[in-house]
Amino acid sequence: MGRTIIEKLWEAHSVADLGDGSHLIYIDRVFFHERTGSIALKGLEAAGRKVRNPEQVFGCMDHIVDTIPGRTDETMVPGGTAFITTTRAAAKAAGVNLFDLGDDRQGIVHVVSPEQGIALPGVTLVCPDSHTCTQGAVGALAWGIGSTECEHAMATKTLAVRKPKSMRVLFEGKLGNGVTAKDMILYLIGQHTASGGVGYAIEFAGEAVRALPMEARFTLCNMGVEFGAWTCIIAPDQTTYDYAEGRPYAPEGSVWDQALASWRTLPTDEDAVFDKEIVIDCGEIVPQITWGTSPQQEIGIDGIVPDPAAEQDENRRQSMERALEYMELEPGLRLEGLPIDSAFIGSCTNSRLSDLRNAAEILKGRKVADGVKAICVPGSGQVKKAAEAEGLDKIFIAAGFEWREPGCSMCFFAGGENLGLEQRAVSSTNRNFENRQGPRTKTHLASPTTVAASAVNGYLSDVRKMESNHE
């Protein structure tokens, strides 16, 4: 019987069968950041252990660093400097790679890793960060872990992993005008809940996935964790190989040819069987927006806030009631037209060059509405440089957006900068939890183009209704 891509990668990386459904899996790449990586490195130090193969371990400053131009080690996050200096010192002592402040490759881990060719098809990669599944988009088996497991991976080059069940989500059909990968994944979570993927490693496949450019595939995989998935993956194809070729840590010459031949054997076999399959008709999807405090509490931009009273399940009904109270929304309210206070474009979900280009298309020749605070944080120094070479920064700034330095920034509030006490924000990020972006900040998740359109109008907007910009 045929094997899925995940089975192939699992078997290729199995060092030992531990006998209870778990295997010792070889970890090709470990990536950490300053918030959870410092403690893993310190743990190893304290136990007198060395990092095994430090040349295959990478770190990035992304979570705690400020994103304001001219930033230093002194952070707006209270106590943040210690995270930065501790990580820097520990990384140096351990001999691992670090993309530090001042390095133009620095940025959000899940933007930098594939951009640098560190994540490649067929690698196993772990990071003490839940959005590691993002990197599955290049056909890597990449999943999030805690700091203790990170210590283990760094010390032994392995992790003991229980084999997950397998799911395939087929995104069929074609995306309509104005509909993006962000809308696809929000739609999936809305239809199947935030626990729909629990216990599964998920392959995203189908016509619409094949048609997605590389950066959009990262967006799709990024929110797999919000679907409850252990991880998600997209089988490599020519789009993937074209993306990976020539990147700093990618192979070259005859080794590239050898790698390519190996990668071509990875995609799921025709006769492989998954434990579960879901089919999504992409023609049904309109631009999406969350209304609640879980990514599953989302609807089309043309929809209305649902009524908890209509919900049969008691737990879900209570969750909806809490969410409506927090978000200060009433059932039956049309989301389109709801005034906003702030707009954010950034995060490991949507901060890559194509995200910025698409948003810039909407912003060109337009201005952010009065009173709306708008911020754009490119995902890495490389993305920022490329965006500036195309003049995108000028478009954002002329429109009234702040143009920042790379980092996780306003995805989450850690005591420093935030999107405003009790303010209503539209955001290209991945979590709309209570207090996530600020004290009592009300977050609506959406695609970068929906965020741009909403910023211009000053209210949640249907990007399809924005007239296309022309000179």
Partner 1 sequence: MNKFKELTAIAAPLLRINVDTDAIIPSREMKRVSKEGLGDGLFAGWRYTEPGSRIENPEFILNRKPYRLAQILLSGANFGCGSSREHAVWALAEWGIRAIIAPSFGAIFYGNCVRNGILPIILPDERIQVLASLVEADPDNNLIEIDLEKCTATGPDELTNTFDIAPSDREMLMEGLDAIAVTMRYDDEILAFQARDRLKRPWIYL
Q: Pick the closer one to partner 1 by CB: 167 or 383.
A: 167
CB of 21 to partner 1, least distance (A): 6
The one among 165, 191, 192, 249 contacting partner 1 by CB under 8 A: 249
Rule CB under 8 A: say whether 250 interacts with partner 1. yes
Rule CB under 8 A: say whether 306 interacts with partner 1. no
Three-state SS letters, 179-198:
CCHHHHHHHHHHHHCCCCCE
The one among 173, 176, 251, 303 contacting partner 1 by CB under 8 A: 251
Measured distance CA(404)–CA(206) in Å, rounded: 36
Measured distance CA(206)–CA(44) in Å, rounded: 43
Binding mask 380-409 for partner 1 (x = CB under 8 A): ------------------------------
* Residue with the two structure tokens 């020749």: 365
Which of positions 69-88 make contact with partner 1 (CB under 8 A)?
78-79, 82-83, 86
Rule CB under 8 A: say whether 152 interacts with partner 1. yes
CA dist 139 to 101, 121, 175, 261, 413, Å? 29, 4, 22, 14, 32
Rule CB under 8 A: say whether 176 interacts with partner 1. no
Q: Pick the closer one to partner 1 by CB: 16 or 397.
A: 16
Residues 99-109 as b or e (16 or more Cβ within 10 Å = b): bbbeeebbbbb
Cβ atoms of residues 349 and 219 within 8 Å: yes
The one among 306, 357, 412, 458 contacting partner 1 by CB under 8 A: 412
Which of positions 24-53 make contact with partner 1 (CB under 8 A)?
24, 26, 28, 35-36, 38-39, 42, 47, 49
Rule CB under 8 A: say whether 265 interacts with partner 1. no
CB atoms within 10 A of CB 325: 10
Rule CB under 8 A: say whether 312 interacts with partner 1. no
Rule CB under 8 A: say whether 16 interacts with partner 1. yes
The one among 144, 190, 206, 406 contacting partner 1 by CB under 8 A: 144
Rule CB under 8 A: say whether 255 interacts with partner 1. yes
* Residue with the two structure tokens 């920034």: 409
Rule CB under 8 A: say whether 439 interacts with partner 1. yes
Rule CB under 8 A: say whether 246 interacts with partner 1. no
Rule CB under 8 A: say whether 420 interacts with partner 1. no
Determine the interface stretch with partner 1 among 23-31, 183-191, 380-388, 455-463 (rule: CB under 8 A): 23-31
According to DSSP, residue 15 is labeled E
Residue 348: both structure tokens together: 């490991």
Q: Tell me whether strands 124-127 and 165-172 are parallel, antiparallel or unpaired.
A: unpaired
Q: Tell me whether strands 442-445 and 424-427 are parallel, antiparallel or unpaired.
A: parallel
Residue 248: both structure tokens together: 């700093």
Binding mask 210-229 for partner 1 (x = CB under 8 A): ---------------xx-x-
Determine the interface stretch with partner 1 among 68-76, 202-210, 256-264, 386-394 (rule: CB under 8 A): 256-264
CB of 118 to partner 1, least distance (A): 9
Strand order in the sheet with 200-205: 231-233, 200-205, 165-172, 276-281
Measured distance CA(142)–CA(44) in Å, rounded: 22
The one among 105, 146, 214, 306 contacting partner 1 by CB under 8 A: 146
Cβ atoms of residues 62 and 160 within 8 Å: no
The one among 4, 56, 268, 354 contacting partner 1 by CB under 8 A: 56
Rule CB under 8 A: say whether 434 interacts with partner 1. yes
Q: Pick the closer one to partner 1 by CB: 93 or 255.
A: 255
* Residue with the two structure tokens 């805690």: 146
Determine the interface stretch with partner 1 among 182-190, 254-262, 362-370, 376-384 (rule: CB under 8 A): 254-262
Cβ atoms of residues 451 and 343 within 8 Å: yes
Determine the interface stretch with partner 1 among 274-282, 360-368, 391-399, 427-435 (rule: CB under 8 A): 427-435
Helices (H), 333-435: 353-363, 381-389, 392-399
The one among 3, 210, 247, 322 contacting partner 1 by CB under 8 A: 322
Rule CB under 8 A: say whether 191 interacts with partner 1. no
Q: Pick the closer one to partner 1 by CB: 296 or 380.
A: 296
The one among 9, 91, 109, 120 contacting partner 1 by CB under 8 A: 120
Q: Pick the closer one to partner 1 by CB: 151 or 355.
A: 151
Determine the interface stretch with partner 1 among 303-311, 375-383, 428-436, 449-457 (rule: CB under 8 A): 428-436
Measured distance CA(418)–CA(66) in Å, rounded: 11
Contacts with partner 1 by CB under 8 A: the residue count is: 79
Strand, coil or helix: 17 = strand
CB of 367 to partner 1, least distance (A): 32
Measured distance CA(125)–CA(104) in Å, rounded: 23
Measured distance CA(407)–CA(60) in Å, rounded: 9
CA end-to-end span of the chain: 57
Rule CB under 8 A: say whether 23 interacts with partner 1. no
DSSP 293-323: SSTTSEEETT-BPPPGGG--SHHHHHHHHHH
The one among 10, 31, 171, 230 contacting partner 1 by CB under 8 A: 230
Q: How many helices (H) and strands (E) does the chain have?
A: 15, 19
